[in-house]
Chain A
Amino acid sequence: MRHILELEQLQKTYQPGLLRKPVIALRGLDLSVRQGEVYGFLGANGAGKTTTFKLLLGLLRPTGGRGHLLGLPLGDRHARRRLGFLPELPAYYPHLTPRELLRFARALSGLKADDASDLRLLEELGLGALGDRSLNRMSKGQVQRLGLAQALVHEPELLILDEPMSGLDPLARAVVKDRIRRERARGCTVILSTHVLADVEVLCDTVGLLRDGQLALEGAPSELLRTAVREVVIEVTGAVHAGVLAGMPEGSTLVNVTEDGEEWQVKLTRPEPFQVDGCLRRLLTGGAVVTGVETRRQDLEDLFLRVTTGPGVDGRAQS
């Protein structure tokens, strides 16, 4: 499948001033996004997500590495013709109305005015009644949805969404999620940066986790979460022989569920498969009756916390 975005060892260092220390935002980012997928671009605050987007748009120039967007060098204006961008905390011209903004967006994309399509798009995003209201009289959530409308007005091949759910109520979030699915069905590639990880789990085909300006983890959410078992709980009834417990794998704990000692739980934290097998065998041969085995997998939030709070490239844990 064709790659829409390819970044190789992309680096960006900010020089805040002569006497200030340079700030390294990207340390060599390798990233590939396939055509037609929804790519979740995750990372803690300051990990380098927004810097990456600015580099893609050509607002910043990389200090190292290279990249191609839609087959063209980063920042190429012909590539920008084919992408739609929703920035984090979008800001537009307060004196314009949504319809005027969309007309302006069309003109800047080199397209003729099409008021009927603009109105339809506004209606689909729940803004149909606000078409002639000036932007300074609209709420944050309404401006956020208008930001999505202006990114979609020219039917882009690539949609870059930086925190699209910010400031949205549950109803508006559902509208935006539905729109992302529709764009994917149309064949549009979506790069989605968000801190709402539940949305990432349901929307994204691939997830990339940025840490210290580098890609720390990448894969399909189902794959990442399948291999990451957080805990296995084995429920046991009957008296458990003390010798059985002595041979349990490291990291396992025994919890007495009932006061009479008839029901127990053996908890194994991040076990390897052979450890679960060994534990079950010991329990069964030790006379215990295993009534259930529950595998607790980590969700994306656990994974995010584990990756982002581990030691970074400079050896420090990230806040």
Chain B
Amino acid sequence: MRVIGALGWHTFLEAVRDRILYLLVFFGIFVFGLSRLLSPLALGEGRRITIDVGLVSLSAFGCLLTIFVGHQLIFREIERKTLYFLFSRPIRRADFVVGKYLGLLMVLAVCLTAMGSILAGVLVLSKYAFGWAFLQAIFMTFLELSIVAALAILLASFTTPVLAGLLTLAAYLIGHGSGDLLTFLQGNETSTTRIFERIFAVLVPRLDLYNDSLPVLTGMLWSPEQCLYGALYAVCYAGACLFFATVVLSRRELAL
């Protein structure tokens, strides 16, 4: 655990010192500017627009952050030859993968907390009400991005950084429409669509499970079943990604 903890802390520290947190400033300016710009045009729906756009921006900025940090986590160690420092020590490939993932989760946790606070600040300044469901929404976004982070690490284990970044972005975008696509496939049942449906259900992350601004708008909390299912799905999907990333890295020769 000491090794995984050290790798995680180091990954977090590296992201922070790489000035990745500057993204928060952009987020703050973006959300504040957007709320000021759109609210007067929303014909009394300013609160709804601010919350909707704010939560979507939170998720999108979090995804960008995950891609920025995650897509080169492995390649960079090989490219700058720091892997000699790491792998001359008693660390397993699994320690390496899990440590990097934990570091990425730490970055996400800090950034989502900060971005959530900025959004809450904007809502307070605009005198828009929000309740505990807002905190739940932030937590669900964290679960969503924990899946994206695991996927980014899996893709980074066997592709180039650019390709890993693009594929992660594609998975994020498709993942948000995955519920609708599954419903579509289920409504047009043929033998071919059944195969597609199964492959789709297993491979594409169900990120739509985590994006629902309705509870925040209505003040109703997410049901415990929804939260539990979301958490379990995230743990299973991320666990599978990390497992396969470990398998790929264990089979790979890690030297230039």
Contact = CB atoms under 8 A, between A and B. Distances in A.
Interface of A: 54, 57-61, 77-78, 80-81, 83-85, 87, 89-93, 95-96, 104-105, 107-110, 150-151, 160
User: Which 3 residue pairs spanning A and B have beta carbons closest together?
Assistant: A107-B6, A85-B88, A95-B17
A108 B6 contact: yes
Contacts of B80: 91
Given A80-B88, A109-B90, A93 B10 contact: yes
Contacts of A83: 88
22 contacts: A57-B87, A59-B255, A60-B253, A77-B92, A80-B89, A81-B90, A87-B81, A90-B81, A90-B84, A91-B80, A91-B82, A91-B84, A91-B85, A93-B82, A95-B14, A95-B17, A96-B13, A105-B85, A108-B86, A108-B90, A110-B2, A110-B90
B256 to A, nearest CB: 10
B253 A80 contact: no
Interface in B38-75: none
B3 interface: yes
B230 interface: no
B4 to A, nearest CB: 10
A107 B2 contact: yes
A110 B3 contact: yes
A60 to B, nearest CB: 5
B81 A57 contact: no
Contacts of B5: 107
Contacts of A110: 2-3, 90
A54 B253 CA distance: 10
A89 to B, nearest CB: 7
A108 B89 contact: yes
Nearest to A82: B90
B85 A92 contact: yes
Given A60-B253, A110-B2, A85 B84 contact: yes
B84 A57 contact: yes
Contacts of A160: 88
Given A57-B87, A60-B253, A85-B84, 20 more contacts: A54-B255, A60-B255, A61-B253, A77-B90, A78-B90, A84-B88, A87-B84, A90-B81, A90-B85, A91-B81, A91-B82, A92-B85, A93-B14, A93-B82, A95-B18, A104-B6, A105-B85, A107-B2, A108-B90, A150-B85
